[in-house]
Amino acid sequence: MKIPQIQAHFMRGKAGLKRFLPQKVIPQNIKEKAIKKIIPTAMIAAESLTSLSGHAQQVNKNFLAYGGIEPKKFSIFTPYMPKLKEEAPALPPLGSIDFVPKNKLNKNSMCLRESYKGTVEELNYFIEKLIPKRHGKKDYNPFYRKGQSFIDIAKKYNVNPTVLIAIAMQESGRGTSIAAVKMRNIGGIYLNNKHAKFENVEQCIEIMAKTIDTRIRENCKTINAIGQSGRYCDKSVSDLWVKNVVFFLNKM
C-alpha cells in the first residue's frame, strides 16, 4: 500500500473514532449525571439529619409525658430519668407519736382546775389541727400559735387551759366567726348586749379565764354544771354546748 493511501485510511479511522467516541463530550455528561445523583442524595441526608433532631426532641417530650417510660414506637435510645418524688410532709417538731391527745374526759369530769399535761408545742399542734384553712393557710385564725398564751393565762387563774380552748372553739366556730376574726373575741364574751371588742386575743382569754374561775367558785365544777347553769351559755342550747365543748376538750 502506498503512503498516501495509508494516510487517507488513517484519517478516516480517526474521524470515525471522533464520531463514536467524542472525548470532550463524554466526561462532561458523566459530571452532570453524577452531580444530579449526588446533590439529591446530599439533600436527603441533610433533611434526614434535621428530622432526626426534631424526632429526638419529640421522643424526649413523650418520654417525660409518659413519666420516664420510653414509648415503644420510638427506637432512639434515651437515658433513664427517674420521676421526681414529691417531698414528704414534714412531721411535727416532736414526732407524730408524741402528739396523742392527753384528755379523756366527759361532761362530769372534775377537770376545770387541772393543769395541762403536755407541752406548748403539742398544744399548738392540736390547736392547728382543729382550726380550718382559708386560702390554704391557717395563720389568719386568732387561735394560731396561741398555746403559750392559753397556758400562761390559765395558770394565772388556776384554770385548765384546754377547757378555755374548748369553750373558745365552740363559741367562735373554731375561730371563724366575725367576732373572732374582726374583734378578737373568741370566747363569746358579751358587753352591753353585744360582742365585746378586744385589742388582742390575750385580753379575751383573760376575761374567759376569770369568768371560769368565778363559776368554779360558785360551785360549777364540771363542764356540764357550767353549761346547765346558764351562766356561760343559754340554757336552751346547754346540752349541745356541753357536748361540743367536751368534744373539743378531748382533741387536746
Q: How many distinct helices (H) and strands (E) make up the chain?
A: 9, 2
Digit-coded pLDDT (tens) for 48-67: 433 333 333 343 444 344 44
- Reading the block at residue 138, the C-alpha cell is 391557717
Architecture of domain 96-249: Orthogonal Bundle (1.10)
Higher pLDDT: 196 or 44? It is 196
Stretch among 19-23, 49-53, 180-184 having the lowest mean pLDDT: 49-53
Helix (H, G, I), strand (E, B) or coil at 134: strand
Extents of the domains making up the chain: 3-65, 96-249
pLDDT at 173 exceeding the cut of 90: yes
Stretch among 5-14, 54-63, 111-120, 227-236 having the lowest mean pLDDT: 54-63
Between CA 39 and CA 48 the distance in angstroms is 14
Between CA 55 and CA 127 the distance in angstroms is 56
Neighbours of 221 (CB within 10 A): 17
Residue 105 contacts residue 249 (beta carbons within 8 Å)? yes
Q: What is the residue type of 1?
A: M
Q: Tell me the helix, strand and coil percentages in the chain, rounded to 5.
A: 55, 0, 40
Average pLDDT of every residue of the chain:
77
Digit-coded pLDDT (tens) for 85-139: 444 344 344 445 557 898 999 999 999 999 998 999 999 999 999 999 999 999 9
